[in-house]
């Protein structure tokens, strides 16, 4: 267990806890977590996860902005929780499948990566989930339940027990986030 793994874990839990509560501070907390986890994943030869954490760090700025200013009716009010539309689901699925195949192939043939296709699949699905969270799509929490359960297994296999524990906590927080966001969605619906 390294300093980076400990700090990445603690700030990761705090960031997801804040996201479940629709708290804007989820984004800077997530940025700190991802900086730490870049090192941890590189050391474990989970290169798709390195790229994913770089993506998380960069796009946290977008999420921060979107939650503050990207309201569909162009007001300065925070973005409301909405549902994912069928065409969005189809696009996210197509993206995830293409991403998994392309990155999995690359990692298998051009690196010494471990678990190339599994790592690529969790990364592709996580990218879709992250976009959904940045746009405050209710179902992002369901995507996280799926991907976090796979990550628990990956990190147990890689003997990264603290990260496996982190993703188990993420499963609990994703359940809590879904319940809270569903409540917020229902309250915001016109009577």
Q: Which residues pair with 82 in a beta bridge?
A: 137
pLDDT digits (tens, 9 = 90+) for 90-146: 999 999 999 999 999 999 999 998 899 999 999 999 999 999 998 999 999 999 999
Q: How far is CA 77 from CA 26, 66, 73, 124, in A?
A: 18, 11, 9, 31
pLDDT digits (tens, 9 = 90+) for 23-73: 999 999 999 999 999 999 999 888 888 998 999 999 898 888 888 876 665
Number of domains in the chain: 1
- The boundaries of the domain holding residue 155 are 3-77+85-188
pLDDT digits (tens, 9 = 90+) for 131-143: 999 899 999 999 9
Please tell me the number of Cα atoms within 13 Å of 107 on its side-chain side: 23
Percentage, residues of the chain above pLDDT 70 = 95
Give me the pLDDT at residue 111, please: 92
């Amino acid at each position: 267990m390294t300093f980076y793994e400990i700090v990445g874990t603690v700030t990761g839990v705090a960031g997801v806890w804040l996201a479940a509560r629709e708290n804007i501070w989820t984004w800077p907390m997530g940025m700190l977590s991802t900086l730490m986890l870049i090192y941890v994943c590189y050391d474990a030869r989970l290169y798709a996860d390195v790229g994913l954490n770089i993506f998380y760090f960069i796009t946290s700025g977008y999420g921060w902005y979107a939650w503050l200013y990207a309201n569909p009716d162009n007001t300065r009010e925070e973005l409301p929780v909405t549902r994912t539309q069928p065409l969005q689901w189809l696009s996210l699925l197509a993206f995830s499948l293409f991403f998994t195949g392309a990155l999995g192939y690359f990692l298998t043939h051009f690196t010494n990566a471990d678990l190339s296709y599994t790592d690529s699949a969790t990364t592709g699905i996580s990218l879709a989930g992250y976009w959904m969270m940045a746009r405050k799509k209710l179902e992002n929490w369901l995507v996280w339940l799926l991907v976090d359960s796979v990550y628990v297994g990956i990190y147990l296999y890689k003997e990264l027990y603290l990260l496996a524990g982190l993703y188990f906590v993420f499963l609990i927080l994703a359940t809590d986030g879904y319940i809270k966001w569903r409540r917020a969605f229902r309250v915001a619906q016109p009577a």
